[in-house]
Amino acid sequence: MPSSRPHLPRWLYSELLIEAGHRCAIPTCKGWPVQIAHIVKRSVSRDDTFDNLIALCPRCHDLYDRYRAMSTREMRAYKRNLEVLGEQSGNIRRRLSDLPIWQLLELYGHPWPPAKQIRRIGHMQIAPLGVGKTEIITRMMMIYDRHKIGYATGH
């Protein structure tokens, strides 16, 4: 039976493969070969954009689509992780500093809701009293250490 689903443009398919390094986007898997999966099912969203697509090996694709072993929220986190990890070949520090601190903390599994109160003014991030600056700095240092890059301490 022929599929009524349109084919992805070759350039989009290629960008998705490059984003994931031609491997499964699930960090603990990294299987090969890969298939392109919709984060939000196409039957629900009709969304064939880059942000709604992710490279998965057949096993992980099945676990996600058929058995729902992973949530949409988890799949979105894996997609964001690819975006950050892809910057390892570029300028990680710039990429990390472009994200709001609260989003960066959530992306790396260190959520700290009070960080949403931090406001950016130019290149500086201003935190009001009571946000737990020491906790935020500790969590940020863990992220920078993970990428083996230095961090500004303000000294």
Whether residues 15 and 77 share a domain: the answer is yes
Whether residues 15 and 82 share a domain: the answer is yes
Whether residues 38 and 51 share a domain: the answer is yes
User: What pLDDT was estimated at residue 70?
Assistant: 93
Asked whether residue 5 is domain-assigned, the answer is: no
Cα separation, 22 vs 34, in Å, equals 7
Question: pLDDT digit of tens for each residue in the chain (155 aa)?
Answer: 445 667 788 878 888 887 888 889 998 888 889 999 999 998 888 888 888 999 999 999 999 999 999 999 999 999 988 877 765 544 455 555 666 777 777 766 777 777 777 777 666 677 777 777 777 777 777 776 766 555 444 33
Specify the number of domains making up the chain.
Answer: 2
DSSP string, 37-96: EESS-HHHH---SGGGEEEE-HHHHHHHHTS--S-HHHHHHHHHHHHHHGGGGS-HHHHH
User: What pLDDT was estimated at residue 103?
Assistant: 74
Whether residues 58 and 104 share a domain: the answer is no
**Token code pair at residue 66:** 């058929």
pTM (two decimals): 0.54
Domain that holds residue 117: 91-146
From the list 20, 88, 86, 8, the residue with the least C-alpha distance to 54 is: 20
User: Pick from 39, 59, 87: which residue ends a domain?
Assistant: 87
